[in-house]
Structure 1
Amino acid sequence: MADLLEVAKSILKSNLNIQESEQVLIVADPESREAATIFYEAGVALGNETMLMEMMTRTKSGEEPPKPVAEAMKAADVILCITYHSLTHTKARKDASAAGARVATMPGITMDMLQEGAITADYSEVEQLTNEYCGLLEDGETVTISKSGSQLSFSIKGRKAIPSTGVFRNKGESGNLPSGESYIAPIENSANGTIFVDGSIAGIGVVSEPVLLTVEDGRLADATGKQGRRLLELLGDGNGRIIAEFGIGTNKNARLTGNVLEDEKVYGTVHIAFGSNKPFGGTNEAGVHIDCVIIEPTVEIDGKGLDLK
């Protein structure tokens, strides 16, 4: 426990650039209580006013926290969302960032992940790679992903790329921790084609067999197999099925574990997500956001191959 406390203190100081007078809010749920308590104790040990708010577990990623939590988030300087499901793409997180808070979301973080894998990365290298890929996305207009005979294409024209480096030094910065991804919101009705997901799916885990997704005019029309059917159930029949995100993993220490917090950061992978994307430059609000990880695909931006190795 002492070692984990030191890890948590290092994260607060190095990744979140915590200052002496800043107030820290930790948002948690019953499933994440153990990890959240370590960060609470770390904040106290550093001498910062630290608060721990525990809410009921959300039913899916992208679901909003209750109003008291959302209001508290807007009043804090530094926020860690240590929850089972992700709060990354919620209005509450966006509003907190707009109010100046630095927000690290850590959905599904495990005790193992506090000691191994993505958290141990060279974050200067992560920053460099992330910014490099973001530059390519910013300059691009059309993305094509190919895998095992499947191919999905969509437009990113005019959309802003988001760097998630795991380092949050300035007011309003936010992202996952551990981190390492460059992501962007595709034009919502532009995606067409099929793509095999052979890595993992948020809320489901590592896929037992590749899931073939069929996307028509930006909307997920079908997903094969038992895990594909579960994905469709999680997304619902409404706006949850609209394409939301294209992301590129930039963390060379990240592992494919079934926990999407780490899976989508694995170098050599990309991911697409469905559901809400308004918090990072899209137009869709759905109350759900689910990522699907693809291992070592072929990716082209405006016809030029992207180096993922």
Structure 2
Amino acid sequence: MNNPVLPSWVLTLVCADRVGIVAGVSQFLADRGGFITDSQQYADREAGRFFMRVAFEATDERMTATEQLQAEFNAIGARFAMDWLITSAREKPRMLLAVSKGSHCLADLLHRWQTGTLAVDIMGVVSNHPDMRRITEWHGIPYHELPPNGDKGAQEAALLDIFDRTRSDYLVLARYMQVLSETLVGQLEGRCINIHHSFLPGFKGARPYHRAHERGVKLIGATAHFVTADLDEGPIIEQAVERVDHRATAEDMIRIGRDIEAQVLARAVGWIADRRVLLNGGKTVVFR
């Protein structure tokens, strides 16, 4: 006889650091038959902030509905003035992807999603070019081409409309080569993720790999971060580097850089999907 799959949840919280938080959360779960499968916490002593992620599952009928858990946890949240969230472990974040002409990050995310290794729901792909339509629709995902046509405001309004209509939780810029306006960034605060090469700020603009090659750069990297009004300077989620030497051509560096970008973005999106990333002012706490 097969045992039924037990319902499970993830609790994340941020609050002022003080004694009793872990005990309060643990007692709340124990009183309802909650079995903790993973628990991580971090106290930022400089900022006086406490961060916690708890994955737990039910052991009996006392824990069945997410809404009931949320209602009952309100008292704990109020006692410690927490910014908290309880979600079903089966609930997948809804993500809208944005891309221009580069396929490496988009193709990697679509492959991981299709093979079930990226626990998100991809609601669509938006682009300012037609190039990625074929690969997107091959995966059965809607493609929305939004050429700027000299009207950036209208383009961004259309993007935001798609984001809202699909009830997306996050916008992922998978090499979307458009600078978002401060207005749009403000509307998507904490919900927009970007990837870029880590030559910034040293090699901005066009052909950064060629200019890095001319300078003999020895490390190639990529950074995934939340988007803010400060271009390419939002809270960092993940980074990686790979060493190169004098034998690497500019084309070698481009190839290596694209691979790193795809891997770093996929890790960042995966951690967000698993509720492992919490904002901490201008930086993040990532429970791995």
- Whether the TM-score (by the shorter chain) exceeds 0.5 is no
TM-score w.r.t. the length of structure 1 is: 0.25
TM-score (norm 2): 0.27
Whose Rg is larger?
A: 2
